[in-house]
Chain A
Amino acid sequence: MTGKFDIFELLIGDPGERDYEKKPVIIQGITGNFGSAHARLMKAYGTNVVAGITPGKGGQDFEGIPVYNSVQEACKNVDAKISGIFVPAPFFLKAAKEALDNGIKLLVAIPEHVPVRDAIDVVEYAKSKNARIIGPNTPGVIVPEITKIGIMPHQPFKPGTTAVFSRSGTLMYEVSFHLSKAGIGQRIALGIGGDPINGTNLIEAFELIRHRDDVESVVIVGEIGGDAEEQLAEYIMKINFTKPVVGYIAGRSAPKEKTMGHAGAIIYGNYGSAESKISSFTNANVPVAKRPAEIPELLLRKMKK
């Protein structure tokens, strides 16, 4: 199902390549408040933002980044395989398909409140194009000190060999902050997204780093809702995943049948409950931290074994 999709190839490339560590990125919705603020921050971080797209604003220039009317127009002028989408949720479906139709292979879907039907459509469409979606409702993906596509602040992230996969944005920052403080840097931090449908789910995220020597450990930041953590736990046991893994689950005290901020964070009966996730992780020999600040300690202990 996951094929041989290589996110590192897309994000960083090989040392021999001209654009090694400088892979071109386009920003859809670059002239909106949100898109422009983050395009600026990404560029400042070192992300090679080569074009922006806003229909009707083609020909303009955003702080040295050329703006085009469509992805098609942009892709005639630049050779980007990565797009960050910052359009409002109702326009996501159209923007995403447009990107996939024009050779984008990694689509970072920032918008929150994308309808489930649109998310399923886009994920299916991406599969047919051998492309990958991160999100929707994700803070994006960062390879510390190389590139970031998303809305995360860069301060919490330091380069290293851990992978952080998180269903929550702010907790991804919080956990990475604690890891960095403890001297554990990250090779990659990727926001799975807070919605019920994730373009890259936890298992698919694990597949991205499974065979990589530059990733030595994994931190999972899960939360209530759905059964992605339970399925991940089964996967970890089934493939006998050997890198040290530590987990955290937010929402232990959340009431049932209430959407806790994220569209995907809702418990029905035992389905989606924190207890179910924690017991699955424990069963798969993945220690679960009680507090975000406890994660580095658990990981260091696990790495020593």
Chain B
Amino acid sequence: MRLLEYQGKQLFSEYGIPVPVSQLALDEQEALEASKKIGFPLMLKSQLTVGGRGKAGAIVKCSNESEFITKFNELLHKDVKGELPKGILVEGMINIAKELYVSLFLNRGKRCFTLISSNEGGVNIESVDSKIIIDLPHTGLSKELVQDLATRLGLEAKPATLFVDFILKLSHLVKDKEAELAEINPLAILSDGSCMALDSKVIIDDNSIFRHPELKKFQQVSELQARAEESGFSFVELDGNIAIIGNGAGLVMSTLDLVNDNAGKPGAFLDFGGRATTETIYQALEVISKIPRIKAILVNLFGGIVRTDLVAQAILNAYSDGIIGVPIYARISGAESVKAKEMLAGSRAKIYDSVEEAISSLMSHVSGSSS
């Protein structure tokens, strides 16, 4: 779960990590109140989960009230890479003496946490040469380790002390909240030597949320997503018109690639997992039926243990109940697949032996109906 900037900063505050004064505004009224509290000049920051906000013009400075309202409304309705903001953070301006970069993240390859820091903050870290990389011992980050880091970053007495405190707090946060990433870019050193997190990028391990009820309020789940998750599906909505359903994340991804290679546009990724029953497949079709732009459904099911006649029954039920009105192209291999084919004969669902054949029929339908 990727937290929005303001949510990450809420966590920072809880851990005593300094952040600028700020307030989230969802409408003009709230924005005006926030501006009065904070005072000009101030920053408006679009709350998005996609990266590259700065470059996309979704962070702007405001010097007075008249430009503030215009800019606020502009930002509120401006989408970045297809995402509309979940509010605008109104934030006080900070006088920065020096900018650092800090990131504490799960190092998958080394199976530990790694701290990357640099005294060139505020820019894209991938383009920075002077990075200091520390793999954390499993016992966690020690004070000595961070003191040494402060020295290597060239920090002087006061900022160094505050930096050590800052990083230790951040490391506690990552550990307690089971974050996979906490990145601060920039971490500002102010003229008085204090440290402040000007941005936040925090990702929480989704699989640990069950023991963090306090983080559930940060979850941004669409109605459809919630419905899919309730049924135990993995679901990602995409912008095309072909829904892709299958048993297994890798298989569905692979099918997505094949559709894409054949100039098809996937509109949904749905993995119903290892336990395919008549009921789960029916529920999967129900989820897909809520996306109006879907013109066809591609089912790729690799069986063996899965009984394909149960899948066929679910498809028949979905048609007879009027849940779906679009054709289904299915590659179903596995137990009882001959029976499944017989059951679906005469319905709007067609079964194929290979996914390649299913896609080619599907594509002629989709391109035929759109022209």
A→B interface (CB under 8 Å): 34, 41, 89-90, 112-117, 120, 123-124, 151-156, 166-171, 173-174, 177, 194-197, 201, 221, 223-224, 226-228, 231, 248, 250-255, 257-265, 268-270, 290-293
23 A-B residue pairs with CB within 8 Å: A113-B207, A114-B207, A115-B207, A116-B180, A120-B112, A124-B138, A156-B304, A168-B250, A168-B251, A196-B106, A197-B106, A223-B249, A226-B109, A228-B109, A250-B251, A253-B260, A253-B261, A257-B50, A261-B234, A262-B249, A263-B205, A265-B253, A269-B126
A269 to chain B, nearest CB (A): 7
Complex CA gap A293/B248 in Å reads 17
Q: Given contacts A116-B205, A170-B302, A171-B254, are A260 and B249 in contact (CB under 8 A)?
A: yes
| Stretch binding the partner chain, chosen from B54-62, B266-274, B285-293, B315-323 | B266-274
> Which residue of chain B has the shortest Cβ distance to A265 in the bound complex?
B249
List residues of chain B with CB within 8 A of the CB of A114. Answer: 207
List residues of chain A with CB within 8 A of the CB of B266. Answer: 253
Q: Given contacts A250-B254, A260-B253, A262-B250, are A291 and B356 in contact (CB under 8 A)?
A: yes
Find out whether the CB atom of A173 lies under 8 angstroms from the CB atom of B108: no
> Which residue of chain A has the shortest Cβ distance to B265 in the bound complex?
A253
4 tightest Cβ-Cβ pairs between the two chains A and B: A168-B250, A153-B304, A261-B249, A170-B248
How does the 8 Å CB contact mask read for B78-114 relative to A, with 1 for contact and 0 for none?
A: 0000000000000000000000000000101101100
> Does B368 make an interface contact (CB < 8 A)?
no
Find out whether the CB atom of B248 lies under 8 angstroms from the CB atom of A168: yes
List residues of chain B with CB within 8 A of the CB of A169. Answer: 248, 250, 274
> Does B247 make an interface contact (CB < 8 A)?
yes
| CB < 8 Å neighbour of B205 from A41, A117, A154, A262 | A117
> Which residue of chain A has the shortest Cβ distance to B49 in the bound complex?
A257
Q: Given contacts A116-B106, A168-B248, A197-B111, are A254 and B304 in contact (CB under 8 A)?
A: no
Q: Given contacts A170-B251, A170-B302, A224-B253, are A117 and B178 in contact (CB under 8 A)?
A: yes
> Does B142 make an interface contact (CB < 8 A)?
no
List residues of chain A with CB within 8 A of the CB of B246. Answer: 170
| CB < 8 Å neighbour of A197 from B108, B236, B254 | B108
Find out whether the CB atom of B236 lies under 8 angstroms from the CB atom of A260: yes
Find out whether the CB atom of B302 lies under 8 angstroms from the CB atom of A174: yes
B→A interface (CB under 8 Å): 2, 49-51, 106, 108-109, 111-112, 126, 138, 178, 180, 205-208, 210-211, 234, 236, 238, 246-254, 256-261, 266, 269, 271, 273-275, 302-305, 333-334, 354, 356
B352 to chain A, nearest CB (A): 13
Complex CA gap A206/B274 in Å reads 27
Complex CA gap A34/B254 in Å reads 26
A201 to chain B, nearest CB (A): 7
Find out whether the CB atom of A174 lies under 8 angstroms from the CB atom of B207: no
Total A-B pairs in contact (CB under 8 Å)?
157
**16 additional contacts, CB 8 Å, given A231-B109, A253-B261?**
A114-B207, A120-B138, A155-B304, A168-B249, A170-B302, A197-B108, A223-B253, A227-B109, A248-B254, A253-B259, A253-B260, A257-B50, A261-B248, A263-B205, A264-B108, A291-B254
List residues of chain B with CB within 8 A of the CB of A201. Answer: 109
List residues of chain A with CB within 8 A of the CB of B249. Answer: 168, 194, 223, 260-262, 265
Complex CA gap A151/B238 in Å reads 30
Most chain A CB within a 10 A radius of its CB, from B51, B253, B269, B305: B253
Interface residues of chain B: helix, strand, loop or mixed (majority): mixed
Find out whether the CB atom of B108 lies under 8 angstroms from the CB atom of A227: yes
> Which residue of chain B has the shortest Cβ distance to A197 in the bound complex?
B111
> Which residue of chain A has the shortest Cβ distance to B113 in the bound complex?
A120
List residues of chain A with CB within 8 A of the CB of B51. Answer: 257, 268-269
| CB < 8 Å neighbour of B250 from A115, A120, A250 | A250
List residues of chain B with CB within 8 A of the CB of A257. Answer: 2, 49-51
Complex CA gap A278/B119 in Å reads 33
Complex CA gap A113/B208 in Å reads 8
Complex CA gap A154/B242 in Å reads 31
Complex CA gap A116/B203 in Å reads 12
List residues of chain B with CB within 8 A of the CB of A270. Answer: 126
List residues of chain A with CB within 8 A of the CB of B256. Answer: 251, 253-254
Find out whether the CB atom of B111 lies under 8 angstroms from the CB atom of A223: no
Complex CA gap A171/B256 in Å reads 13
Q: Given contacts A115-B205, A261-B249, A290-B261, are A151 and B305 in contact (CB under 8 A)?
A: yes
Find out whether the CB atom of A250 lies under 8 angstroms from the CB atom of B108: no
B245 to chain A, nearest CB (A): 12
A65 to chain B, nearest CB (A): 19
List residues of chain B with CB within 8 A of the CB of A293. Answer: 354, 356
B211 to chain A, nearest CB (A): 8
Complex CA gap A174/B332 in Å reads 12
Find out whether the CB atom of B2 lies under 8 angstroms from the CB atom of A41: no
Complex CA gap A264/B111 in Å reads 13
> Which residue of chain A has the shortest Cβ distance to B52 in the bound complex?
A269
B25 to chain A, nearest CB (A): 25
Complex CA gap A270/B106 in Å reads 17
Complex CA gap A224/B334 in Å reads 27
Complex CA gap A250/B250 in Å reads 6
A90 to chain B, nearest CB (A): 6
Complex CA gap A112/B275 in Å reads 13
List residues of chain B with CB within 8 A of the CB of A153. Answer: 303-305, 334
B131 to chain A, nearest CB (A): 14
> Which residue of chain B has the shortest Cβ distance to A154 in the bound complex?
B304
